[in-house]
């Protein structure tokens, strides 16, 4: 039986998913990654729970709901494209955001709520990103050429984060992430 994982993420608007899909298409022909994510799977991870037992998951839903009661929508802007892993054979290709205190605060609320539900979470610093592809399969990856083709910094795509979703993974499927619960953020007046 395949293990499933759960995570909380900022849900992206369809327009942003379309923009990122278009960006992926611009660079796909020149850069061979083993897996390009389905556009419905684009998100910004806020807390990765892993293999979450039902009772803890339910508790996290309650605590996250409480934490987001007064949380407002956040304004974000895509800023760049980057990689995680070896510069010659990266394991992750991602789109990043301009720094946002609002996003950092939202992430902190989710993170604390999940810790209160007894989850042990990753302690690495938060680096908000949207994964586009995984596992580069050729030699001599060229980040500068990738950034040129993607041209994210010159296209100034802005969007609003309006919801947080608990997702469940279904590896091998496309899309791979199933929404379990969604929390809408308040409109700012």
By annotation, the residues acting in catalysis are 43, 129
Cα 93 from Cα 41, distance rounded (Å) = 14
**Token pair in block for residue 67:** 């934490």
Decide: helix, strand or coil at residue 26: helix
DSSP E strands in the chain: the ranges are 6-11, 33-36, 43-50, 74-85, 90-97, 129-136, 158-161, 163-169, 177-184
- 41: DSSP letter: G
Cβ neighbour number for residue 149 with a 10 Å cutoff: 17
3-state secondary structure of 6: strand
List b or e across 90-102, with b for residues whose CB sees 16 or more CB atoms inside 10 angstroms.
bebbbbbbeebee
Provide the Cα torsion 21, 27, 31, 37; round to 10°: 0
């Amino acid at each position: 039986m395949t293990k499933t994982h759960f995570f909380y993420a900022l849900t992206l608007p369809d327009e942003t998913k379309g923009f990122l899909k278009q960006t992926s298409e611009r660079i796909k022909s020149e850069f061979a990654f083993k897996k390009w994510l389905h556009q419905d799977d684009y998100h910004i991870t806020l807390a990765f729970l892993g293999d979450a037992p039902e009772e803890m998951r339910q508790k996290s839903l309650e605590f996250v709901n409480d934490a987001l009661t007064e949380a407002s929508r956040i304004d974000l802007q895509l800023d760049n494209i980057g990689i995680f892993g070896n510069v010659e054979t990266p394991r992750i290709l991602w789109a990043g955001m301009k720094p946002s205190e609002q996003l950092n605060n939202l992430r902190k609320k989710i993170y604390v709520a999940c810790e209160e539900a007894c989850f042990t979470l990753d302690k690495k610093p938060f680096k908000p990103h949207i994964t586009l592809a995984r596992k580069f399969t050729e030699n001599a990856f060229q980040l500068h050429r990738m950034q040129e083709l993607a041209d994210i910094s010159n296209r100034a795509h802005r969007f609003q984060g309006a919801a947080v979703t608990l997702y469940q993974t279904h590896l091998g499927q496309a899309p791979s992430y199933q929404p379990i619960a969604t929390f809408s953020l308040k409109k700012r007046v």
